[in-house]
Chain A
Amino acid sequence: MFLVFNSFPQDNEKARLRISNSSNYTPISGVKVSDIIMNKIYTSNVNGYIYLEYIHYLALEISKKGYKTIKVYLTEDDFIDIEGCIVFLEKINVPDKSLINISEIELIRQNDIPELKSISGLYNSRGDLFDRHTMFNMSNARFRRRGYNYSENTITINNIKINSLYDGNVNWSTWSGIMHALKKDESTSYIESGNLSFGKMGSVTNYNSSPSNFRKITKAMFTQSNKTYKYRRQIMYNSGVLKDKLAFNLILSRKSSERSYFEGTDYNLDSFLAAIDYKIQSNSQINFTFIYTPLVKGKSSPNTKEVWGLTNNKYNSYWGFQQGKVRNSRIKKVKLPMVFLNYKYNIKDNIVLKLNILKQYGFVYNSRIGYNRAANPLPTYYQYLPSYFVRYSDDENFSNAYLVEKQFRENQEYRQLKWDDLYYINSSNPKSKYYMYDDVVSSGILKGNASLEIVLDKENKLNISSYLTIENSENYAEMTDLLGGELYYDTNPYSSGDAMYQDLENKNKPIKKGDRFIYNYEIESMQTGFAIKYKIHKYLWDSNITLDLNSTIYRRNGIFRNGGFANNSLGQSELLSFFGKGLKWDNSFKLSNRSFIKMNSMYSQNPPTVKTSFINMRVNNSVNPYHELELRKSIDMAYYYTGDSDKFQTKIFYSQLNNTVDGNFYFAQGLKNDSDDFVSETMYGINKLYKGVEIGFEKHFLAQYEFFTILNYGEYTYANKPKLMLQSESTNIENGNYGNVYIENYRLSGGPQAVFAFGLKYNSPKYWWVGLNNNFAWKNYIQISPLLRTSNFFEDENGSILNDIDRTKIISLLKQEDLGSSFYMNMSGGKSFRIKGLSFYLFISMNNIFNKTQYSGGFEQSRNANYELLLADKNREKPLFPSKYWMSYGTLYFLNLSVRM
């Protein structure tokens, strides 16, 4: 993520600014516009236009006799629209019947006020102040606004919701690297619904791929970084509107690195976008867009504190040397092209019809080493670590622990995957003991949206949109490399008898490269619905009310008969269907021309995701018996103030996300009947509570300086005692009910719940700028293990309560770990210059200047599932199954040079 500079003026074109009257929108000529930094003065022409030569930043004083003088601070983002930017002046001593609220931060769209040709937005329409100063600066701390999962934010491209029915998330890798060819034409505040999309508790953002949005441009970009990729080259070409009929956009980019930030990870992303607009008639237009961004990247591992301490901050256990070459065992490949067909028809002056279709198809591959009746190949398996040798307090084998530790620290080959050894062990027999396979998801996605936007009159507007989503997938494991062996027999080494066979109908089939094995099933999911939004826009009051109704169905179709679930894996599962509905209502009240308060509220019942509806999708058709609608209730209140040179926003929010489901999959010991097993864990009926306050303040002083500060203080917790269910080979649903999970008031994990930041930026008249910001984050908690907080924790193998439980120990054993506070200082700067008719812009940023690395997130391991085991493990000086942590990045640098012609 880096600042986007989309529309540089060309030599013969400058930034266009339009000055209009705030009460009747008529252009004002003869307005004096002073560029304070560059010390230049412009006067608006008869149409109210001014053409400015500009850098990335403008500080302007705008005045005319009879009007209130204003100061305005503009950046690139305000000129994104091809039409440029509009600023409004108020008349003095004239009763203010302004319908435009100067301090509104919403984008005002073309059709909102038909008299205006187009508006890109007012000078403070750069999106939410809070988002602007946290999204990039705090990415290292894994900050998530309001603690919501990313799936709470709805992303649409060409009005089509991109969030998947599978887990509600957006697969950014399928359209990464082409963002410059998309215009973000809508970005709502949290809770607010989008123009055509209801959304959830977060924001709704729409990206538009129409080339007509951009001015004619040819641009190239060269980037160097040390985070996920080292080099990036991008070229973008926009034809501009040709003969008033055609426009097209082309973008081609390549991000690559052989060694990314964490050891053994590589990255390769090729991005391609082609979009064509064709104006069929004066009032109708069709667009075709093709996006393909194939990605290949290596992953890195979360590690225990012991492993981080034995190695370094960039350690990754997933890779090793194969004959001297680096080979990562966990590679992700994404090949999911998207094709859009968009049609827009202005039926009348005040009715717009939009039809959008998206077809997406392709594959996602995630690779992994498999092993059967062989030692765990990962170098950080708990039995290979020094802690294992001192695990018995009365029998500590220090000398061997020391030998192992020495090897770990000093011998890189020892602490990485030993590929050559895996081939060697495979060579004793044509049956592979080690092999590489891919978890494959082959998707077929079809989505459509049809909408009508009707402007009833100056004050009332109605949007009706209906949508259809079909997401089907085939999911299976595919053998990719037998690592020197000739074949493999697919059995589950932890089961016996028929339960061993995962494809029971083909028990003894030898698996070769390209064959499917382990699991094979299809998911069919479909959602249809419609949303109606009614907008009222009055003098002192704005109100929007949105209603959404939808119907969703899911079904699993097993292709393999799994021996452990022979009667419940092959064929179709029951059909799950849900009826969802929601209502959103937001109101703004204008207090003065500079301030207003806003109240957003929502209530919705949403279907659970596919992922949480099937408990153990890989092996059986079992449906979560408690599949019910999730409930969302959210309300926030905000106060906005915009002064001449400063801006202030404060919000408080309160949200409940009820009856939701979280799932997990791991190996647990100490379950009922003293058993150990692989378990699929489902926690359901979870109520989550989010409350907090957000404050933001920005000030421009001495024309060239910008200062900001933001504060967010939140409390995001579990609000009830959910229930827990485990399913494994040895427990069916009846036995698998573990009852209540006592986690009420435990904090949700996933990022700091409190952040404070401030920063200063200097804009020089010599076409350069520099900025520094400081970010503090705290209240960051690790993910607790629900199994450890059920009554199973207090039971022995026969189900009776353990006798000698020390109450004080329980509190410390089960206390949720706070990862502590973190501090990051970031610096950035930019300079634009011209050489031989080419415009250059150089941007440099350095995140985390002081290279402070610490744990940014983590999770408790569920392996020791009862009091005795957990106490024994924690009493060890070096526990065997402590929590695992992700390490934040150290200093990240980013260098970007873009060239325009």
Chain B
Amino acid sequence: MKKNIIILLGLIICFSCAEEPSYEIPKHDCIEPDIEITNSLGQIKEMYIDRLIGIDQDLHIEGYVVSDDEQGNIYKVISIQNDFENPTEAIQLIVDKSYLYGIYPVGTKLYISLKNLGLDKVNGVFQIGYIHESSLIRIPSIKIDDHIFKSCESHEVSPRIIDIKNIDDSLIGMLISIENIQFASEDFGLAYGNLNNTYSVNRNMRIYDELCHEESSLILRVSGYSSFKNNTLPVKKGTITGVLGKYNNDFQLYIRDLSDVNFTQSPCIPLLENTFQTGIVNNLPIYIDGWVNFTEKGSEQWSGGIFRGDYFAQFSAYGTDEDENIGWLITPNINFAQTDEVYFSFETSKRSVDEGFDGFEVLYSNDWDSSLKGVNTANWQVLEAVLASDDDDDYDWVNSGEIPLVFHPNGYYIAFKYTGSGTDTKKDGTYRVDNIRAVVR
């Protein structure tokens, strides 16, 4: 009996001894692909003849990856440039695969086999992709490994420092840095991206000179899927790095993540800035928060105008059929500390203004109570400024010059006042105002 039990017990394999399987980390030995480069990136772009072309020869190019889609600002695109230190050429590959950064991290050298791929210029940007029914689409995920090969080589990529004025098409797809740049003051307080939905947005970046005059600008493009879209734009200036892109005529920069934005210095913060580029509709009265559009006489109001993409404010008594047209466009209160050195500037232009017309004035007040009734009772004085005059051609923008504002505890209101007549042809010209700015130096 006992013998039987022992035999039976022996037949049972030990209790709870199922081994916890352990899994080793697989080792990967890198094998350098044996590919002969036939063309440079620039040469491929030269093959373009104004429409989509298919590449049926056995061509190969190489480049270093500079794009990174981890944080979601870049999507299904690999940008490569011909060198990791002093690049001269770059191009974009469109691929139907996400999370490319894990497989092709920045600095990886890639070999591209172009046979059976296509080249097209899409919205101003050269792209290599896959041809499907006469249009360029992303290289299907299942085909990527037939065309894109990783080298065992990778390098840290240093961005090429570029002066905005020298940006041209050859830099599209390249990793560039721009120094002394900041976000435009009208974008201060905004987040990087769109909080309510997943649409992409443009953010405006500006370079200012020592006088805080705008020198040049560049768009930052932020996707609605980027992880940093909730972060507030930094109110500082410094260096920004990113991959250069383009949309039709506008160059756009794509940062990869927030470490591409290195803004540490004090920026130019205009006390007041209005280029009228936003919030203005052509031929409609101007309504801007904080500004006052006051019609003292007549029915004509300061309205929006546009010429070749540039918006401005304008007033004209022409065609009103009214005897008196008086309109005030008054800035919000400009106040500052006693220690601040403040300069006010703007641009004006005219059209069909008769010689000797003096109905356009730029005034200031320190005691206006900011009510419409109070406009006529406040104390307004002429601000010494250079205005568009008879000596200037129609439409030419004339800079007012840097007008110093002396400290006053109540601050300043600056008014652009037009006094004219729709029935008097000598008093019905058009005045335009743009780029109103008060800066602290």
Determine whether the beta carbon of A235 is less than 8 Å from that of B12: yes
Determine whether the beta carbon of A375 is less than 8 Å from that of B142: no
Determine whether the beta carbon of A375 is less than 8 Å from that of B24: no
Interface residues of A in 313-331 (CB under 8 A from B): 322-323, 325, 327
Across the two chains, which residue of chain A brings its CB closest to B193?
A496
Determine whether the beta carbon of A325 is less than 8 Å from that of B23: yes
B5 cross-chain contacts in A, Cβ below 8 A: 218, 237, 901
A270 cross-chain contacts in B, Cβ below 8 A: 15-16, 18
Determine whether the beta carbon of B16 is less than 8 Å from that of A294: yes
Determine whether the beta carbon of B26 is less than 8 Å from that of A423: yes
Evaluate whether A674 and B8 lie within 8 angstroms (CB atoms) in the complex, with A374-B99, A400-B142, A496-B230 already known.
Answer: no
Residue among B4, B8, B24, B103 making CB contact with A425, cutoff 8 Å: B103
Determine whether the beta carbon of A327 is less than 8 Å from that of B23: yes
Evaluate whether A254 and B15 lie within 8 angstroms (CB atoms) in the complex, with A327-B21, A327-B23, A429-B105 already known.
Answer: yes
Evaluate whether A428 and B105 lie within 8 angstroms (CB atoms) in the complex, with A496-B227, A901-B4 already known.
Answer: yes
Q: In the assembly, what is the distance between CA of A500 and CA of B231, in Å?
A: 12
Determine whether the beta carbon of B227 is less than 8 Å from that of A235: no
Q: In the assembly, what is the distance between CA of A877 and CA of B251, in Å?
A: 42
Minimum CB–CB distance for A407 against chain B, Å: 7
Residue among A233, A389, A395, A838 making CB contact with B4, cutoff 8 Å: A838
Interface residues of B in 213-249 (CB under 8 A from A): 227-231
Q: Which of B18, B98, B141 has the most CB of A within 10 A?
A: B18
Determine whether the beta carbon of A407 is less than 8 Å from that of B8: no
B70 cross-chain contacts in A, Cβ below 8 A: 373
Residue among A296, A323, A407, A500 making CB contact with B26, cutoff 8 Å: A323
Interface residues of A in 453-512 (CB under 8 A from B): 481, 483-484, 493, 496-497, 500
Interface residues of B in 94-118 (CB under 8 A from A): 97-99, 101-103, 105
Query: What's the tally of chain B residues with a CB closer than 8 Å to chain A?
Result: 39
Determine whether the beta carbon of A254 is less than 8 Å from that of B13: yes
Determine whether the beta carbon of B230 is less than 8 Å from that of A218: no
Q: Is A662 an interface residue (CB 8 A)?
A: no
Interface residues of B in 1-23 (CB under 8 A from A): 1, 4-5, 8-9, 11-13, 15-16, 18, 21, 23
Q: How many contacts A-B (CB < 8 Å)?
A: 101
Determine whether the beta carbon of A254 is less than 8 Å from that of B12: yes
Q: Is A862 an interface residue (CB 8 A)?
A: no
Q: In the assembly, what is the distance between CA of A643 and CA of B24, in Å?
A: 67
Query: What's the tally of chain A residues with a CB closer than 8 Å to chain B?
Result: 53
Q: Is B25 an interface residue (CB 8 A)?
A: yes
Evaluate whether A233 and B227 lie within 8 angstroms (CB atoms) in the complex, with A375-B97, A407-B142, A899-B8 already known.
Answer: no
Residue among A253, A373, A424, A901 making CB contact with B28, cutoff 8 Å: A424
Determine whether the beta carbon of B4 is less than 8 Å from that of A218: yes
Minimum CB–CB distance for B12 against chain A, Å: 5
Minimum CB–CB distance for B54 against chain A, Å: 15
Across the two chains, which residue of chain B brings its CB closest to A395?
B133
Evaluate whether A433 and B99 lie within 8 angstroms (CB atoms) in the complex, with A252-B15, A404-B142, A496-B227 already known.
Answer: yes
Q: Is B197 an interface residue (CB 8 A)?
A: yes
B18 cross-chain contacts in A, Cβ below 8 A: 256, 268, 270, 296
Q: Is B33 an interface residue (CB 8 A)?
A: no
Q: In the assembly, what is the distance between CA of A429 and CA of B108, in Å?
A: 13
Minimum CB–CB distance for B405 against chain A, Å: 39
Evaluate whether A420 and B4 lie within 8 angstroms (CB atoms) in the complex, with A233-B11, A256-B18, A428-B102 already known.
Answer: no
Q: In the assembly, what is the distance between CA of A420 and CA of B29, in Å?
A: 13
Determine whether the beta carbon of B12 is less than 8 Å from that of A397: no
Q: Is B319 an interface residue (CB 8 A)?
A: no
Residue among A294, A389, A423, A433 making CB contact with B140, cutoff 8 Å: A389
Q: In the assembly, what is the distance between CA of A418 and CA of B48, in Å?
A: 39
Interface residues of B in 313-337 (CB under 8 A from A): none
Q: In the assembly, what is the distance between CA of A484 and CA of B25, in Å?
A: 6
Q: In the assembly, what is the distance between CA of A104 and CA of B101, in Å?
A: 73
B13 cross-chain contacts in A, Cβ below 8 A: 233, 254, 256
Determine whether the beta carbon of B140 is less than 8 Å from that of A397: yes
Q: Is A272 an interface residue (CB 8 A)?
A: yes
Per-position contact with A for B16-56: 1 when CB-CB < 8 Å, else 0?
A: 10100101111010000000000000000000000000000
Q: Is B373 an interface residue (CB 8 A)?
A: no
Minimum CB–CB distance for A731 against chain B, Å: 14
Minimum CB–CB distance for B40 against chain A, Å: 27
Q: Is A3 an interface residue (CB 8 A)?
A: no
Q: Is A702 an interface residue (CB 8 A)?
A: no
A419 cross-chain contacts in B, Cβ below 8 A: 23, 26
Q: Is B441 an interface residue (CB 8 A)?
A: no
Determine whether the beta carbon of A375 is less than 8 Å from that of B99: yes
Minimum CB–CB distance for A274 against chain B, Å: 12
Evaluate whether A427 and B1 lie within 8 angstroms (CB atoms) in the complex, with A294-B16, A375-B99 already known.
Answer: no
Q: Is A811 an interface residue (CB 8 A)?
A: no
A484 cross-chain contacts in B, Cβ below 8 A: 25-26
Q: Is B155 an interface residue (CB 8 A)?
A: no
B132 cross-chain contacts in A, Cβ below 8 A: 395, 397
B143 cross-chain contacts in A, Cβ below 8 A: 400, 403
Determine whether the beta carbon of B23 is less than 8 Å from that of A420: no
Q: In the assembly, what is the distance between CA of A493 and CA of B72, in Å?
A: 10
Interface residues of A in 405-459 (CB under 8 A from B): 407, 419-420, 423-429, 433
Across the two chains, which residue of chain A brings its CB closest to B100?
A375
A234 cross-chain contacts in B, Cβ below 8 A: 12
Interface residues of A in 865-901 (CB under 8 A from B): 899, 901
Q: In the assembly, what is the distance between CA of A751 and CA of B62, in Å?
A: 59
Q: Is A220 an interface residue (CB 8 A)?
A: yes
Per-position contact with A for B112-155: 1 when CB-CB < 8 Å, else 0?
A: 00000000000000000000110000001111000000000000
Across the two chains, which residue of chain B brings its CB closest to A899?
B8
A500 cross-chain contacts in B, Cβ below 8 A: 227
Determine whether the beta carbon of B28 is less than 8 Å from that of A403: no
Across the two chains, which residue of chain A brings its CB closest to B103?
A425
B21 cross-chain contacts in A, Cβ below 8 A: 325, 327
Across the two chains, which residue of chain B brings its CB closest to A425?
B102
Minimum CB–CB distance for B102 against chain A, Å: 4
Determine whether the beta carbon of B8 is less than 8 Å from that of A400: no
Interface residues of A in 222-253 (CB under 8 A from B): 222, 233-235, 237, 252-253
Across the two chains, which residue of chain B brings its CB closest to A427?
B28
Q: In the assembly, what is the distance between CA of A327 and CA of B71, in Å?
A: 31
Determine whether the beta carbon of B15 is less than 8 Å from that of A433: no
Determine whether the beta carbon of B23 is less than 8 Å from that of A374: no
Determine whether the beta carbon of B12 is less than 8 Å from that of A252: yes
B103 cross-chain contacts in A, Cβ below 8 A: 425, 428
Q: In the assembly, what is the distance between CA of A162 and CA of B406, in Å?
A: 85
Minimum CB–CB distance for B418 against chain A, Å: 43
Q: Which of A373, A481, A496 has the most CB of B within 10 A?
A: A496
Determine whether the beta carbon of A220 is less than 8 Å from that of B11: yes
Minimum CB–CB distance for A268 against chain B, Å: 4
Q: Which of B21, B24, B102 has the most CB of A within 10 A?
A: B102
A493 cross-chain contacts in B, Cβ below 8 A: 227
Interface residues of B in 328-349 (CB under 8 A from A): none
B98 cross-chain contacts in A, Cβ below 8 A: 375
A296 cross-chain contacts in B, Cβ below 8 A: 18
Q: Could you list some 18 contacts between A and B, CB below 8 A?
A: A252-B15, A254-B15, A256-B13, A270-B15, A325-B21, A327-B21, A373-B71, A373-B99, A375-B99, A389-B140, A407-B142, A419-B23, A423-B26, A425-B102, A483-B25, A484-B25, A899-B8, A901-B4
Show the binding face of A for B, using Cβ within 8 Å.
218, 220, 222, 233-235, 237, 252-254, 256, 268, 270, 272, 294, 296, 322-323, 325, 327, 373-375, 384, 389, 395, 397, 400, 403-404, 407, 419-420, 423-429, 433, 481, 483-484, 493, 496-497, 500, 673-674, 838, 899, 901
The 7 residue pairs across chains A and B that have the minimum distance between CB atoms: A497-B230, A425-B102, A268-B18, A496-B230, A220-B8, A270-B16, A428-B105
Given A254-B12, A433-B99, A497-B231, 16 further pairs, Cβ under 8 A: A235-B11, A235-B12, A237-B5, A254-B15, A270-B15, A327-B21, A373-B70, A373-B71, A400-B140, A407-B142, A423-B26, A425-B102, A428-B101, A428-B102, A484-B25, A496-B228
